[in-house]
Structure 1
């Protein structure tokens, strides 16, 4: 039986297409802002910007970066056939940018006191990928 197979008949897992250029640029040490400027559809670049801003205490900036990455990821998921719910496996590396952005959005929302958004994003992350929720938290 394949990993992530839904035995209850729900939607199949969504696997985003690979987008290796932004991942390689970040791994090579290119500044995340430069990667986001060159690859604005990359949730991974926006998630990295959100993480960096949060670590530097720039919470509102982190929130904005995370929201951008989250929405870019939703666009990509829809293009990949996602219907608004169902598994988005963390084990599939191209999904990680979206999942990281979703986690960063939850974290920043909590930090600025936006409790409803924090709860919504936290639940969405856990429903999309329990592995991501456990790994990123």
Structure 2
């Protein structure tokens, strides 16, 4: 990720996700680490991939929305002010970016195109290289 805006804050480099190294799809992991964006991102990604009914798409959306809010909490708790770079190549940032992407995809699946666009823009603002990687 290349920084072009000299007025932008420095890139956010999150500490290791609290669920790193755990079975991210295990219920016990989600219960032990509900603050983990990575747990919610992985659970949402699976739900999106497997959703065949409207009810399942709504469940995927709820998981993704939880991951998105946990991501904002984690970013803000680590100095993020609502904007600025969050590089995907820093592994601990990936759970946050994946959660934002999951919300974009889940929103699109239920017809929330404006939310998809907003999340896509948020990803692009955080790290433009993450968009094709996470939304393709």
Q: Is the shorter-chain TM-score for this pair beyond 0.5, marking a shared fold? A: yes
Matched, 1:56 2:50: yes
Secondary structure, in 3 states, of the residue corresponding to 2:20? helix
Q: Write the mapping of 1:67-106 to structure 2, written as runs, cut at 5 A.
A: 67-106=65-104
Alpha carbons of structure 1 residues 66 and 126: separation in structure 2 relative to 1, 3 Å = same
CA separation in 1, counterparts of 2:114 and 2:5? 31
Unaligned runs of 5+ in 1: none
Alpha carbons of structure 1 residues 86 and 59: separation in structure 2 relative to 1, 3 Å = same
Root mean square deviation, CA, Å: 1.5
Alpha carbons of structure 1 residues 32 and 132: separation in structure 2 relative to 1, 3 Å = farther
Pairwise CA distance, 1:7? 4.6
Pairwise CA distance, 1:68? 0.7
Pairwise CA distance, 1:8? 2.4
Unaligned runs of 5+ in 2: none
Normalising by structure 2, report the TM-score.
0.89
Deviation digits for residues 58-82 of structure 1 (CA, Å, limit 9, x no counterpart):
2111111111111111111111111
Pairwise CA distance, 1:92? 0.7
Q: Report if aligned partners of 2:25, 2:42 keep a CA contact under 8 Å in 1.
A: no
Pairing partner for 1:113 from 96, 111, 114:
111
Q: Report if aligned partners of 1:59, 1:108 keep a CA contact under 8 Å in 2.
A: yes
CA separation in 2, counterparts of 1:50 and 1:32? 13
Q: Report if aligned partners of 2:25, 2:39 keep a CA contact under 8 Å in 1.
A: no
Q: Report if aligned partners of 1:15, 1:92 keep a CA contact under 8 Å in 2.
A: yes
Following superposition, which runs of at least 4 residues in structure 1 exceed 3 angstroms of deviation?
3-7
Q: Report if aligned partners of 1:25, 1:35 keep a CA contact under 8 Å in 2.
A: yes
Pairing partner for 1:43 from 37, 42, 55:
37
Pairing partner for 2:28 from 24, 29, 34:
34
